[in-house]
Structure 1
Amino acid sequence: MAKRIDVSDLNIYYGNFLAVEGVTVSIEPRSVTALIGPSGCGKSTFLRSLNRMHEVLPGARVEGKVSMDGQDLYAPDVDPVDVRRHIGMVFQRPNPFPTMSIYDNVAAGIRLNARKMKKNDLDDLVERSLLGANLWKEVKDRLTRPASGLSGGQQQRLCIARAIAVEPDVLLMDEPASALDPISTLAIEDLMTELKERFTIVIVTHNMQQAARVSEQTGFFNVAGAGQPGRLIEFNATEKIFSNPDEKATEDYISGRFG
């Protein structure tokens, strides 16, 4: 688990619209990489391209290369569903299956992948995943109850448990704490710090303090104007990005001069 992602000259299109242009970057394993930038600059589009989630929209396509430990994720013989099993996704708003139990939410990914498991093995996997998401102690006595009964922060951690249950190599998080209160946000940040020991994590966040707290590397995306493609302006160690960035545009954004 925890694999390296290399992106080379990536252009991302929606139909004829070039949404993101010319991204070249390497994402290191067992670390948290944060993507920051103003709304509409392409950071979430780029994130979704890493596990081919953007393809669910008609007309979406890429030019360039995305590889994981040397394997081209866009090669003709690669199944996008298999890519998504290896590169999991946690979305901005918690999206558990509301009518399913907490247990069945965690097991859903395993069942969707048609993996046959004995009941005892599945029980162990559900417990292990909930432990990994720091949720087990809070829900162990109500696993058969609907997930809709959990708080927002608990639901987001349940979604993380569901994502890690299929044992991915990479975990993508698209503003995972933006809909949460400060205490739940801190729980998610603490969880990311623990999970990076096992996974490669890429997070999109509008919260620059969060990026500074949780990540080792930060990429700053920006867009020149309406209708223009988003670009990766700077990618560097998080400490450097927030203390001594190479690009003036990065410094302007971080200091609040725009965005």
Structure 2
Amino acid sequence: MSKRIDVKDLNVYYGDFLAVQDVTMTIEPRSVTALIGPSGCGKSTFLRTLNRMHEVIPGARVAGEALMDGQNLYGAAVDPVQVRRQIGMVFQRANPFPTMSISDNVLAGARLNNRRMSKSDADDLVERTLRSANLWAEVKDRLSRPGSSLSGGQQQRLCIARAIAVRPEVLLMDEPCSALDPISTLAIEDLIAELKTEYTIVIVTHNMQQAARVSDKTGFFNIAGTGKPGRLIEYDDTETMFSTPKEKATEDYISGRFG
């Protein structure tokens, strides 16, 4: 199911403003790629270009290439809605639909895609997906309760369940643990490690230890100053990035000398 993504000379604009410049990288299937760097350097903007979520902002556009298993995600005949079905996203703050039950939250994407299911098929999908998100044991006796009744960490795992219920090939995560306590963060990190056996995962994080723990490859973004575009400074195996980075700026950021 998981897919390889090849990005070449990608530039992201908001109107005339160049926000991210000349990103070239390969994101391998069945792996976790972490994007690190100081605030405002374009990590989340770049992440959103991978499933065309940035297009919801008026004036946003992309130049360059983003290919998934050779298919241009920005091809003229490509439907951005279909891209977002194939490349799911989990946001910084857990956002379960507050008026929906836990089970209806899981089924929301499938129903949005006009997928008709019998009750038994729906029940099977809910259980299978919540098990995949390591949440089933905690919520199986209260599936009819609102998703918003869960703890913060449980809500984030519910949002991950909602994202994978539609069977995407890639999962994007924008600082999924930034609002969580250490125990909930560990639960999400354990889940990421399990999910990478099936999905290609890209995660934005400000937590250096988290990037070192969960990722196979790491990309360091930086910005030269206010009003300048963000750039990918270095991209390598995580172990190499955290032990012997090639760029001084990478070493300075990872060691805490700036950022």
TM-score normalised by structure 2 residue count:
0.99
155-164 vs 122-131, greater mean Cα deviation = 122-131
Aligned to 2:104: 104
CA distance in 1, matches of 2:218, 2:54: 22
Aligned to 2:62: 62
Where do residues 204-215 of structure 1 align in structure 2 (5 Å cutoff)?
A: 204-215=204-215
CA distance in 2, matches of 1:144, 1:133: 18
Aligned to 1:155: 155
Aligned to 1:192: 192
CA distance in 1, matches of 2:117, 2:246: 51
CA shift digits 1:145-172 (9 cap, x unpaired):
1111100000000000000000000000
Aligned to 2:128: 128
Q: Percent identity?
A: 78
CA shift digits 1:149-200 (9 cap, x unpaired):
1000000000000000000000000000000000000000000000000000
> Which SS does the other structure have where 2:51 is aligned?
coil
1:13 aligns with 2:13: yes
Aligned to 1:88: 88
Structure 1 consecutive aligned stretches of length 4 or more whose deviation exceeds 3 Å: none
CA distance in 2, matches of 1:192, 1:150: 20
CA distance in 1, matches of 2:105, 2:26: 33
CA distance in 2, matches of 1:148, 1:9: 41
CA distance in 1, matches of 2:22, 2:186: 34
CA shift digits 1:9-41 (9 cap, x unpaired):
000001111000000000000010000000000
- 1:240 CA drift (Å): 0.4
CA shift digits 1:180-221 (9 cap, x unpaired):
000000000000000000000000000000000000000000
CA distance in 2, matches of 1:196, 1:32: 7
> Which SS does the other structure have where 2:245 is aligned?
coil
User: What amino acid is aligned across from residue 132 of structure 2 in structure 1?
Assistant: G
Q: RMSD of the TM alignment (CA)? A: 0.4
Aligned to 1:247: 247
CA distance in 2, matches of 1:17, 1:23: 16
CA distance in 1, matches of 2:115, 2:85: 12
CA distance in 2, matches of 1:173, 1:121: 28
Aligned to 2:73: 73
1:32 aligns with 2:36: no
> Which SS does the other structure have where 1:221 is aligned?
strand
User: What amino acid is aligned across from residue 212 of structure 2 in structure 1?
Assistant: A
CA distance in 2, matches of 1:28, 1:235: 13
> Which SS does the other structure have where 2:23 is aligned?
strand
CA distance in 2, matches of 1:168, 1:95: 19
1:257 aligns with 2:257: yes
TM-score normalised by structure 1 residue count:
0.99
CA shift digits 1:76-130 (9 cap, x unpaired):
1101000000000000000000110000000000001111112111111111110
1:179 aligns with 2:179: yes
CA distance in 1, matches of 2:157, 2:255: 31
Q: How many residue pairs align between the two structures?
A: 259
